[in-house]
Amino acid sequence: MREPVWDLHNVVVGVDGSEQSCRAATVSADLARRNGAVLHLVTIVRPPEGWWGIVGSPPTPSALSKSLTDAQREILDSVVASIDLSEIEVIQVEDVGDPARMLLEYAERVEAEVMVIGRRGAGLIERIMLGSVANRVVHDAECPVLLVP
C-alpha cells in the first residue's frame, strides 16, 4: 500500500467569533489530534479605519483600544472553552492587521500543511458565496485549505 504523503505537523485555523469558525475549530482540533499535529488558533483584529495613519505601520495590539483586544481575547477564550482540545498542543495567536493577509503569512511562517476556515464568518452581510477572508485565503494559500460550511 502507498505510504501516506500528507503528514500533518501544523494545522492553522482562523477564528473570528462566528459559529462557522467554531465549527472550523472543531474540525481542525480533530485533525490535529488524529495526526499529533500542533493546532494554531489564530484570531486577527482588523484595525479601525484610519489606524494606519501617517507612519503607515500597523498598531501593536497594546496600542489598539482595549475593547478590541478584549474582544479578541474573548473570541479565543470562547473557542477554547467550547471545543475539545485534549491531547493537542495548542498555540493561541492574537494579531492585528488585514485578516486574510495575516492568516496567509502566519500559515507560511509555521509551514502549515493545512489551513482550516469557515465558509463564512462574523460579517453581517448575508452572502450567497464565500466570505471575503475565506475567498482570499482559498485563492492565495500555499497549502491545502479546508473550508468548513
Ligand X SMILES: Nc1ncnc2c1ncn2[C@@H]1O[C@H](COP(=O)(O)OP(=O)(O)OP(=O)(O)O)[C@@H](O)[C@H]1O
Residues at the contact surface with ligand X, assessed by CB under 6 A: 14-16, 18, 20-21, 24, 42-44, 99, 103, 117-118, 120-123, 125, 127, 131-134
Residue 76 binding result from Mg ion, ligand X, none, given CB thresholds of 5 to 8 Å by partner type: none
Residue 141 binding result from ligand X, Mg ion, none, given CB thresholds of 5 to 8 Å by partner type: none
Q: 7 or 70, CB closer to ligand X?
A: 70
Amino acid at 141: A
> Buried b vs exposed e over 56-69: b needs ≥16 C-beta within 10 Å?
eebbeeeebeeebb
The answer to whether the CB of 51 falls within 8 A of the CB of 59 is yes
Taking CB under 5 A as the binding criterion, the range among 49-57, 59-67, 90-98, 114-122 that sits at the site for Mg ion is 114-122
Beta partners for residue 43, in sequence order:
94
Q: In angstroms, give the least distance from the CB of 97 to Mg ion.
A: 14
| Residue 59 lies near Mg ion (rule: CB under 5 A) | no
**Helices marked H in 46-112 — which ranges?**
66-82, 99-109
Residue 40: which of 19, 18, 11 has the closest Cα? 11
- Could you tell me the three cell numbers for 32? 490535529
Q: In angstroms, give the least distance from the CB of 133 to ligand X.
A: 3
Nearest residue to ligand X, scored by beta-carbon proximity? 131
Binding site for Mg ion (CB under 5 A): 121, 123
